[in-house]
Amino acid sequence: MADEHHWPVWDTDSGETTGGLPAAGDTEAFPAPQVIEPAGADAYDDYDSELAGELLDGEHVAPEPDTPASRFRHGLGKAMMITGVGLTVFVLLYVGDLMFSAGDVPRGVTVAGIDVGGLSQKDAESKLRRELEPRLTQPVLVRAGDVETKLDPKNSGLGLDWPTTLEKAGHQPLSPVTRIMSFFTKREVGVETRTDDKVLASSVAELTRTQLDHPPAEGGIGFDPVPGSDGGVTARAVEPRQGQSVGDTNAAADLVHQHWLDRGGVQVPVAATPVKASSAGVHKALEQIVNPAVAKPITVHGDGKDVALKPDAIASSFRFAPLDNGDLEVRVDQSKLQQGLQPELASTEQDGKDASLVFVADVPTVQPSQDGRKIDWLTTFKPFMGVLTLPESRDLKVAYQTKKPNLSTDAVNALGVREVVGQFTTGGFSPEVAGNVRAAAAAVNGVVLKPGETFSLNAHLGARSGYDTAPMNEDGTGPQVAAGGISQLTSTLYNAVYFAGLGDAGHTAHSTYLDRYPPGRDATSFSDSGSAADLKFTNDSPSGVAIQASATGATVTVKIWSTKRYTVDSSTGDRSNLAPPPIQPGSGPGCVPNEGKAGFSTSDTRILRDIASGAEVRRETTAVTYQPRPLVICA
């Protein structure tokens, strides 16, 4: 074809091109390009462009044979290329993250549980102040064992160190791992506090003493009254509570320091002290014993009288004791039940009465004895626990016992009280003490002593408060005291016993001499300090002894009745160690003039002779020293 144009063709043998581009404006269709193949081109029919050999210095190099080593080199090259690209991308992302987050709080950061990650320093500070500052004044929740309480941070020396806290929150980590993990986790950096250690330690120690520490409390059962009922109660379980102790309060203060801003409060560890009874044991006793026991009253049947023992009275008698196996033992205080029932059942009892002697027309007459009839409380309460759990027929029968008197009628008749064996009369006591002297005489009148028994005047006079207040001394002198003047009866009784020949078991002479009694033969019922002094004597005879005492006007007489054994004489010794009375000036309306008495020492000897033979049996000497009584001159 004329003017035929061809695309340039590379001649692989000569390295030159043939043909050329069509001329401008040539519209003839372009023929298909041609490749001039070198000799032996048949050997490359299966040529793969991806595995083609390279041309080096114009020469054709055959492709590397397909072997395991060639494949390994190909794979390693690809892996290194990918790794390089990955590292480049990672470095670019890391640098970009650093640049992008510069000045911001790192991702995932929390401060006292408040999320500030990703915020600017300014926004983080604003959020922290907004949410933390109200908590600085709120009470700190403190938990220790079974106690939950609160601590005032302001009064406990607790505060927040804002600069250090904000610095910790805003510090950017350089670790790539930390920055990557921040996308998936939270990182608590905590707060920095400023603390007055002494104030905090003191506050925690006080909180421990008053609230956190407590001793173990065994379980029990409590009772609440039922409104509008007649003695009804409702029983409830009182749960056991193990004891606990914080122990190291300084360590507890450190925990408060570290965690006082935590949203969950501060948990303080404690050492526990276990209790014996379990909660199950308490409820077992409640359901099986106590609830049935207080469901209804128990009717107590006395002789001729029934008394309702109400639920509240039953409940008040219960006592509870923990057992090692975890159970709660229910006990009954019988004395508590007895106190409630005794007044109601007193009319069913009868007091016993000893036989005594009464003097009719100055002759001793036997007053018969009387048996006592008393409730036997021990026997009465024996079936009580069984009755408690019964739903119906809740009845308890009272048991009684007969009590014989200490001195029966026959015993008194056999005592041989037939004649007066000793008597004495005194007088001269002042009108102010006359009532007390009469009352004291009545208290001992008719007393009977069996052989060998000892008499105590104080035991028969009773409490001094039951007498009138009067001058302490029989003559109307001395301070005002309860039962003043009764020493007149005391000295009279002493002398009657003296002449009856009975054994002296103890007496106290007056501190100063009163001439109404023989020297050395007086007895008082008051010590120098005004306290009570006693007079005692023993019936050392084989017969019984009875006392007859009476006071009329300004005299008092005591007679001792028995069977006479002795005649008794008295011998008074000389006076020695004379001491004149000191002068004591006085004034005012309370001053009472007194002529005074001299002090001296003396003795008295009692001589006992056998009534039948007149022979002397024995002598008994008593030495006495009387102090001088001051001469009182009233201005």
State the CATH number of the domain containing residue 298.
Answer: 3.10.20
Tokens representing 401 are: 């016992």
pLDDT for the residue 609: 98
Same domain, 377 and 429: no
Same domain, 348 and 428: no
Within a domain: 251: no
Average pLDDT taken over every residue of the chain:
85
Q: Bridge-partner residues for 610, per DSSP? A: 566
Asked which of 137-141, 345-349, 562-566 is least confident by mean pLDDT, the reply is 137-141
Domain total in the chain: 4
Of 564, 547, 565, 566, residue with least CA distance to 556: 547
pTM value is 0.48
Q: Residue 176 — pLDDT band, cuts 50, 70, 90?
A: confident
Within a domain: 279: no
Tokens representing 116 are: 């500030």
Residue with tokens 């005649």: 567
Same domain, 40 and 178: no
Same domain, 296 and 350: yes
Within a domain: 34: yes
Q: Rounded distance, CA 624 to CA 617, Å?
A: 23
Taking the mean position of all CA atoms in its chain, how far away is CA 23?
Answer: 122
Same domain, 391 and 324: yes
Within a domain: 56: no
Within a domain: 66: no
**122-to-51, 129, 136, 208 alpha-carbon distances in Å:** 62, 11, 20, 41
pLDDT tens-digit series, residues 155-169? 999 987 877 777 776
Q: Rounded distance, CA 465 to CA 476, Å?
A: 19
Same domain, 376 and 432: no
Same domain, 568 and 474: yes
| 544 within 8 A of 562, measured Cβ to Cβ | yes
Q: Residue 558 — pLDDT band, cuts 50, 70, 90?
A: very high
Same domain, 367 and 441: no
Q: Residue 317 — pLDDT band, cuts 50, 70, 90?
A: very high
Same domain, 18 and 154: no
Taking the alpha carbons at both ends of the chain, their separation in whole angstroms is 184
Within a domain: 57: no
Q: Residue 367 is part of which domain span?
A: 286-406
Tokens representing 365 are: 């007459």
Residue 100: pLDDT above 60?
no
Q: Which of 241-277 are b and which e, b meaning 16 or more Cβ less than 10 Å from the residue's Cβ?
A: ebbbbbeebeebbbbbbebbbbeebbebebeeeebbb
Same domain, 561 and 424: yes
Same domain, 589 and 490: yes
pLDDT tens-digit series, residues 212-254? 999 999 999 999 999 999 999 999 999 999 999 999 999 999 9
Q: What value does the mean pLDDT take over residues 336-354? A: 93
Q: What share of the chain has pLDDT > 70, as a percent?
A: 85
Same domain, 388 and 420: no
Residue with tokens 């690809």: 78
Within a domain: 578: yes
Of 455, 539, 442, 461, residue with least CA distance to 500: 539
Residue with tokens 């990650």: 117
Within a domain: 378: yes
